[in-house]
Amino acid sequence: MLPFQINSDFPVLGQRMYSLAERLFPICRSITGNGLRETLRIVQQEIPLTLHEVPTGTPAFDWVVPREWNIRDAYIKNSRGEKIVDFQQNNLHVLNYSTPINTRMSLEELRPHLFTLPDMPDWIPHRTSYFNNNWGFCTTHRQLEALPDDDYEVVIDSSLELGSLTYGELTIPGESEEQILLFAHCCHPSLANDNLSGIAVVVELAKIIRASSPRFTYRCVFSPAAIGCITWLSQNQSELSKVKLGMVAALLGDPGQLSYKKTQAGNALIDRASLHILRHRNLPFRTLEFSPFGYDERQFASPGINLPVGRLTRTPNGAYPEYHTSADNMSLITPNAMADSLATYCAIFALIENNHVYKSNFPYCEPQLGKRGLYRTTGGHGTPEQRQMAILWVLNQANGEHDLLDIAERADLQFEIIASVAAELAAAEVIRKV
Ligand code: ZN
């Protein structure tokens, strides 16, 4: 059974996720190419991921898998031959998906190809140009302002060729064929919170689920954002009717509070389960209404796909200053925050796994609990008073229509208490699973 709590190994798990993020950090990833492939191969050393290669030109609904981008080196040298911008120092220095270039030019010619953050003059921005041919460099604003007129040597040793888009997938079979999706994007270069923390949390969560003989079948997908998700959906269209619900996992390593973004409908099981767990943690959290913006939740919410996929992050995209900059580095994320994120994911899916519907075998007035040893039971979760109320609520609501989460919400009790007394009542054959 998927555990509700992972407190025992908390610091160890946090450190393990941080170490994985640290190992992946230097790699220059993109939506295709060797950096993405290498990242997935490292994840493969942790969990038995299957890598899929979808060739350039493969249609994916209204899109086409793009040419594969690879980069070996990039720099700008001044007329004295000094490298003033160097991809080897930080891979954010190159506009991701830049076309190759090798030429000399003046500052005036170079300027339209330089991207900076005037408001945060010491940070390098993360910029991409996936679907229109362009080249460029990203630097700190301070560096741009200090650049003199000169004759600059501009080199981007990249290639855009026929190749493939890589994604990784692990299916963890459950008792039921109904599927739960866990989606982590892995196309960002050296950024820690925005993508590496999500990858690390899903890796550890997958290990916990694999060890738990789950009720549902889990599909953990590591793919580039947007085009990767669109490609995965188009390749798996025939399987989508088996998907019960899902979660997009990203931005899980910063010390900010957790934020749950609702599905389009807003009242799906994944919404109810996530919000119940968050409310009962007694820690501040944010609830975000659905919007067709952000990460891959918007692909799942499109009219033809329409799957209930929520998103649990810590501080959301765009809501922390370091987002998409060189300051989203290993010092922004912490082992503790990642362990806390993992614990919350675990509790949410443990709830979903244990959310059964029961029917009473004694629907005429209340059954006599004393003769079954169920009156004022102790042990399990909750205080004796809470357990007593939980028993009365479960018996009252066991008409085959309410799931345990419904009952927990109505009783204003933690799901675990309701689930624990329901298991006891079922063992005593007072109620039965529907
Ligand atoms: Zn991002």
Distance from the alpha carbon of residue 28 to the mean position of ligand 1, in angstroms: 14
Q: Which residues pair with 433 in a beta bridge?
A: 358
Q: Which of 125, 123, 84, 87 is nearest to 107 (CA)?
A: 84
pLDDT of residue 378: 67
Condensed to tens digits (0 to 9), the pLDDT of residues 88-145 reads 999 999 999 999 999 999 999 999 999 999 999 999 999 999 999 999 999 999 999 9
Condensed to tens digits (0 to 9), the pLDDT of residues 176-199 reads 999 999 999 999 999 999 999 999
The CATH superfamily assigned to 10-66+164-353 is Zn peptidases (3.40.630.10)
**In the chain, ranges of CATH 1.10.10.10 domains:** 357-433
Q: Which residues pair with 60 in a beta bridge?
A: 63
pLDDT of residue 373: 83
Distance from the alpha carbon of residue 208 to the mean position of ligand 1, in angstroms: 26
pLDDT of residue 99: 98
Distance from the alpha carbon of residue 189 to the mean position of ligand 1, in angstroms: 10
Query: Class of 357-433 per CATH?
Result: mainly alpha
pLDDT of residue 7: 65
Distance from the alpha carbon of residue 359 to the mean position of ligand 1, in angstroms: 46
CA distances from 108 to 80, 104, 151, 287 (A): 18, 12, 10, 47
Distance from the alpha carbon of residue 284 to the mean position of ligand 1, in angstroms: 24
**Lowest-confidence region among 62-71, 315-324, 378-387:** 378-387
Question: How many other C-beta atoms lie within 10 A of the C-beta of residue 279?
Answer: 14
What does the H/E/C string look like for 324-346?
CECCCCCCCCCHHHHHHHHHHHH
pLDDT over 80 at 242, yes or no: yes
Exposed, middle or buried, 150 (CB in 10 Å: 0-12/13-18/19+)?
middle
**In the chain, ranges of CATH 3.40.630.10 domains:** 10-66+164-353
Condensed to tens digits (0 to 9), the pLDDT of residues 362-395 reads 999 999 988 888 877 666 788 889 999 999 999 9
Cβ-Cβ contacts under 8 Å for 94 (sequence gap 6 or more): 28, 71, 74, 87, 136, 137, 138, 156, 158
Distance from the alpha carbon of residue 95 to the mean position of ligand 1, in angstroms: 14
Q: Which residues pair with 55 in a beta bridge?
A: 164
Take residue 155 and report the two structure tokens written for it.
């080199």
User: What is the pTM assigned to this prediction?
Assistant: 0.96
Distance from the alpha carbon of residue 431 to the mean position of ligand 1, in angstroms: 48
Distance from the alpha carbon of residue 409 to the mean position of ligand 1, in angstroms: 35
Take residue 106 and report the two structure tokens written for it.
């003046």
Question: How many other C-beta atoms lie within 10 A of the C-beta of residue 300?
Answer: 26
**In the chain, ranges of CATH 3.50.30.90 domains:** 69-161
- Residue 78 phi, psi (nearest 5): -85, 180
pLDDT of residue 8: 64
- Which CATH code is given to the segment(s) 69-161? 3.50.30.90
The rounded distance, in Å, linking the Cα atoms of 128 and 32 is 13
Q: Is 417 left (phi over 0), alpha (psi -120 to 50) or beta?
A: alpha
pLDDT, mean of residues 284-290:
98
Name the CA radius of gyration of the chain, rounded: 25
